Amino acid sequence: MILSYIHWNVHPEIFKILGISLQYYGILFVGGLIFAFYLIKKIFAENKIPLDNLEKLTWYCFFGIFIGARLGHCLFYEPEYYLANPLEMIFPIAPKPGGGYEFSGYRGLASHGGAIGLVIALVCYSLKTKQNLIKTLDIIAIVTPISAFCIRMGNLMNSEIIGKPAEVPWAFVFERVDNIPRHPAQLYEAIAYLIIFFINRYLYKRTGLFQNRGFFFGLTITLIFGFRFFIEFIKERQVEFEKLMQLDMGQVLSIPFAVIGTGFIIYSLSQNKKIEKK
């Protein structure tokens, strides 16, 4: 039986002007945030939440996710290199073979760092605006999976975060990496996050679970990082030191998120039961 694999050779750069390149990843990253902003605005309107703080919330989220994701990649996956080259941690540059630097874009963003950065940013936002932190976390959690979907599609366009060799009919040959058929792990994750987004939207629209403070925050991080833990088993290790680990860095970092998320779900549902008994 001859298997027909999907040959993938998309160039990550759309075009380049004056040394600055426009890449699919950047468009998908920003596009996901813009779509999330639109959905958050709708949630604000549906729940009669004042729109005065929406712009502030947007900027807090953007910088929290971006800074956290960038620092997360640099410090979790390549600390020795980036601590020795801090300019590359901060600016979208990379060394040229002949010396000097060139614009490269931010080629390393870690979802765990982005999640941590987002939570810190939301804490700061809540202190600044006096908005309820848990309610804000729930609102952001409802729409977060759509941004995660866009980011993983960006990884697919970059032919990065590839899966292990596979013989399934839908295997991808990432020609920019090698000629080996592999699991399209980025696509698996993207589809999973899209499903989680629709689950969130359904529960938000069809149930009263939004009134259970902390439920959507707990559900989202439990599902996202629970799935992330298992999908790592079919991914190639991203950095050299992970080859010496029984669980890779993505799995190690996912465990506390999933545990915290489960705790939030239990807490929110138990609080609802207490209210019903009164």
pLDDT over 70 percentage in the chain: 91
pLDDT in tens, 21-45: 788 888 998 899 899 999 999 999 9
Distances in Å between the Cα of 272 and the Cα atoms of 11, 47, 142, 277 are 50, 19, 19, 9
Q: Confidence band (pLDDT; 50, 70, 90) for 96?
A: confident
pTM (predicted TM-score):
0.84
Residue 196 CA to residue 214 CA, distance in Å, equals 16
pLDDT in tens, 216-244: 999 999 999 999 999 999 999 877 787 77
Q: Confidence band (pLDDT; 50, 70, 90) for 1?
A: very low
Residue 70 CA to residue 106 CA, distance in Å, equals 8
Tell me which amino acid residue 250 is: G
Do the beta carbons of residue 8 and residue 175 sit within 8 Å? yes
First to last CA, the chain: 66
Picking from 246, 244, 248, the residue whose alpha carbon sits closest to that of residue 228 is 248
Neighbours of 277 (CB within 10 A): 6
- Per-residue model confidence (pLDDT) at position 107: 64
Q: What are phi and psi of 46, to 5 degrees?
A: -65, -30
pLDDT in tens, 59-69: 898 899 888 98
Tell me which amino acid residue 81 is: Y
Residue 255 CA to residue 34 CA, distance in Å, equals 29
Do the beta carbons of residue 113 and residue 64 sit within 8 Å? no
Computed over every residue of the chain, the mean pLDDT equals: 88
Q: Which residues contact 26 (CB under 8 A, 6 or more apart)?
A: 105, 154
pLDDT in tens, 101-157: 766 666 667 888 888 999 999 999 999 888 899 999 999 999 999 999 999 999 999
Residue 11 has pLDDT above 70, yes or no: yes
The answer to which of 100-109, 153-162, 188-197, 257-266 has the lowest mean pLDDT is 100-109
